């Protein structure tokens, strides 16, 4: 078993209905059903637009999902189909079969009041699904985040031994996504120095970030130089 390193200090989250834990979780006794249900919650929570659904074709193209469903007694595809079928039978998911352009499609929704209405509207023809929904492409795999040393060398320059220790400490302190965004912001502001990046990170740590974006800095309410004038100014170098 590969040891999980643990959740970062400031992980992003998705929402699950509380009733999932009180009513559904105690009943689910099939691992494929559990994995498929949680995957759909996560996938559709992040999806934009209306209505929000996933197609069987899309799920079959998701190598991460299929790999997690691998078992000794059934194929990944069979495990996916079994998990979907059990989740639909239990009432966690809704399945809608459509035939468009001579092609049969399976659409899966979370069984919420809003999605029940959407399915009814689609079935009645009141809510047509345009060509954009035909054969939804697989979502691209997220690119791995670069470590802090790569970010520094790509955006600022050569790393000295003393600076290397500071970078190691920062990498332990802040999420990898924050580090990337802070370096990107320093480049946008043409402030290619570690002290500026570090000041951004300290500001975010104190004031928080809104959906991955700084609450103030990106909106232009604070002049960049004020990173060096506030109460933490004496802690950073220009």
**What would the pLDDT profile of 167-220 be if each residue is shown by its tens digit?**
998 988 888 888 989 999 999 999 999 999 999 998 888 877 654 444 443 334
pLDDT digits (tens, 9 = 90+) for 136-149: 444 444 455 678 88
- Please, is 154 exposed, middle or buried when counting C-beta atoms within 10 Å of its C-beta (0-12, 13-18, 19+)? exposed
Q: Tell me the whole-structure pTM to 2 decimals.
A: 0.55
Average pLDDT, the chain: 81
Helix runs in the chain, H state only: 18-19, 31-46, 56-60, 63-68, 76-90, 113-124, 148-155, 161-173, 176-188, 194-207
Q: Compute the C-alpha angle 37/40/42, nearest 5°.
A: 110
DSSP state, 175? Answer: -
Which domains are seen in the chain, by residue range?
A: 18-133 (1.10.10.10), 148-235 (1.10.10)
């Amino acid at each position: 078993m590969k040891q999980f390193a643990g959740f970062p200090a400031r992980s992003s989250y998705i929402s699950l209905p509380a009733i999932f834990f009180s009513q559904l979780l105690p009943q689910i006794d099939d691992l494929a059903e559990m994995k498929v249900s949680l995957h759909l919650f996560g996938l559709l929570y992040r999806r934009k637009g209306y209505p929000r659904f996933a197609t069987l074709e899309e799920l079959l193209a998701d190598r991460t999902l299929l790999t997690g469903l691998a078992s000794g007694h059934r194929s990944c595809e069979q495990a996916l189909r079994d998990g979907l079928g059990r989740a639909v039978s239990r009432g966690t998911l809704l399945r809608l079969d459509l035939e468009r352009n001579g092609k049969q499609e399976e659409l899966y929704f979370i069984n919420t009041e809003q999605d029940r209405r959407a399915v009814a509207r689609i079935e009645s023809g009141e809510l047509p699904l345009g060509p954009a929904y035909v054969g939804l492409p697989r979502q691209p795999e997220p690119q791995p985040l670069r470590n802090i040393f790569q970010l520094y060398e790509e955006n600022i320059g050569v790393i000295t031994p003393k600076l290397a220790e500071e970078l190691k400490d920062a990498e332990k302190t802040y999420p990898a996504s924050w580090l990337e965004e802070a370096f990107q912001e320093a480049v946008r502001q043409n402030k290619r120095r570690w002290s500026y990046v570090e000041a951004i990170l300290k500001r975010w740590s104190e004031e928080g970030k809104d959906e991955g974006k700084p609450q103030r800095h990106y909106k232009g309410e604070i002049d960049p130089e004020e990173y060096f004038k506030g109460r933490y100014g004496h802690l950073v170098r220009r």
